[in-house]
Chain A
Amino acid sequence: EPEVTQTPSHQVTQMGQEVILRCVPISNHLYFYWYRQILGQKVEFLVSFYNNEISEKSEIFDDQFSVERPDGSNFTLKIRSTKLEDSAMYFCASSVNGVSGANVLTFGAGSRLTVL
């Protein structure tokens, strides 16, 4: 069964450093997403991406965050200057459709980011 692949599975970084989390979405999917889950809290929407641009973003997704699809397969989340509160599990997801209630997202296993 096709799956969303995320790397790294765990990254430890110092506060203020830049971090790039990588994702390979399912090949025929057109919509891509990043979600995060801070330990003990809900899974939260960060951003959706379609046709090489952001479709929607949450208030969490401030200027420190950016997303990119640098080639035909990778989808990346960059945090420019990490803060302690960025420590979380970051989930990438993809879907065939976007603007539909029947839009089923397929999630990756997540990248755990620890900011010291």
Chain B
Amino acid sequence: DQQVKQNSPSLSVQEGRISILNCDYTNSMFDYFLWYKKYPAEGPTFLISISSIKDKNEDGRFTVFLNKSAKHLSLHIVPSQPGDSAVYFCAATVGGTSYGKLTFGQGTILTVHP
């Protein structure tokens, strides 16, 4: 199942700089996208989401951009902090019919160096 893909397994960034995590999808039925963060020994934690009717959603240091024509979304973290080091999952769903069925990407391990 390659409907949601995160092509970068890992990303290393210096503290204070911008982290950009990317995600591509193939299913044009997806109309809601979410980012989850996961620390070791914990479950995924919701970070930020975006509806397909928007192209940007911002929440503090986190901004998600959606390019529907390219079927691409990205998560920007500015400024990055060492506590942001975690696995970041992109997920997509079909609102209204999916009953909470999220399709996840493989995840990107973000490491923020002090």
A-to-B contact residues, CB < 8 Å: 4, 31, 33, 35, 41-45, 48, 50, 55-56, 58, 91, 93, 95, 98-110
Contacts and interface: CB of A to CB of B under 8 A. Distances in A.
Contact-residue size bin, chain B (C-beta under 8 Å from the other chain): 20 to 34
B101 A45 contact: yes
A71 B100 CA distance: 22
A98 to B, nearest CB: 5
Interface of B: 1, 31-32, 34, 36, 41-46, 49, 51, 89, 93-107
Contacts of B94: 101
Contacts of A44: 1, 104
Contact of A109 (B31, B32, B42, B49): B42
Which of B31, B93, B96, B101 counts the most chain A CB atoms within 10 A? B101
B22 to A, nearest CB: 16
B43 A33 contact: no
